[in-house]
Amino acid sequence: MKLQCRFEPIVDIATGQIIASEMLCRPENEDAETFFRHAPLATLSDIVDLQIARLREPGIPQQQAVFINVSLDLLLDDKWADNVLPRMAGYNIELDCLQCMAHLDALTRRGAAIFSKVRRYGINIWLDDINEAAITAISALPLRFDGIKIDKYVLWHLAEINDRRTMADFARQLNELARVVIVEGVENDDHLQFAAVAPIRCAQGYYWPVDGNLSFELEI
């Protein structure tokens, strides 16, 4: 199977400056979210290994923070974590919110120890794709994420009905749970202007073009 990969910019809303990028890999002819949520752990581990190797190749900018999606099931595997985390030093790990919701007991029991291990390598831990339904459970966890990303569907829905108050209230709640909040799914001027009125620092989405010279293909 081939994965089409790119670095999607993460932008400071106030300045328009690119401050980081997320390495996004999508399978050909298959929905990316479905694939990554159901792929075998061995496959997900191989993908992370290939991504790390790519980041070390000449020509990849080193001055910006890079985000990599990692399955929580991999982090819960002590052997995997001890082997891979040293090679991810300085990067940002994204954990899928839906997967975290399915592992609330494990995060309650082991989350603090896992997060401490990750942070020893200078790795920031982000919660990806949060929505309003998840905030109560996530806020009850005995740990805190370094940053949180708002699911694109939240932005699209609230922007479509122009519900600025709900967006602002949601963002304020998230700012109490993490140092930085990013909204995903910004694809046009309306999305950007809508997000800009909420207390959200950064955004990402198709609104900002990717650097085609840095796009690549992985084969697994």
135 and 170 in contact (C-beta within 8 Å)? Answer: yes
Q: How many domains does the chain have?
A: 1
Q: In the prediction, which pLDDT does 63 show?
A: 60
In a domain, 185, yes or no: yes
> Can you give the CATH number for the domain in which 111 is found?
3.20.20.450
Which residue in 94, 157, 161 sits closest to 129, CA to CA?
Answer: 94
Q: What is the pLDDT of residues 104-158, one digit of tens each?
A: 999 999 999 999 999 999 999 999 999 999 999 999 999 999 999 999 999 999 9
Instruction: List phi, psi (to 5°) of 203.
Output: -145, 160
In a domain, 109, yes or no: yes
Q: In the prediction, which pLDDT does 106 show?
A: 96
Residue 29 pLDDT > 90: no
In a domain, 217, yes or no: no
Q: In the prediction, which pLDDT does 37 show?
A: 84
Q: In the prediction, which pLDDT does 57 show?
A: 85
In a domain, 200, yes or no: yes
Q: Could you tell me the two tokens for 119?
A: 């942070």
Q: Could you list the residue range(s) of the whole structural domain that residue 61 is in? A: 9-23+55-210
In a domain, 139, yes or no: yes
Mean pLDDT score across all residues of the chain: 94
In a domain, 48, yes or no: no
Q: What is the pLDDT of residues 174-192, one digit of tens each?
A: 999 999 999 999 999 999 9
In a domain, 75, yes or no: yes
CA–CA separation, 213 vs 220, rounded Å? 22
Instruction: List phi, psi (to 5°) of 200.
Output: -120, 130
In a domain, 97, yes or no: yes
Q: What is the pLDDT of residues 56-104, one digit of tens each?
A: 888 776 667 999 999 999 999 999 999 999 999 999 999 999 999 999 9
Between residues 169 and 214, which one has the greater pLDDT? Answer: 169
Is the model's pTM score more than 0.85? yes
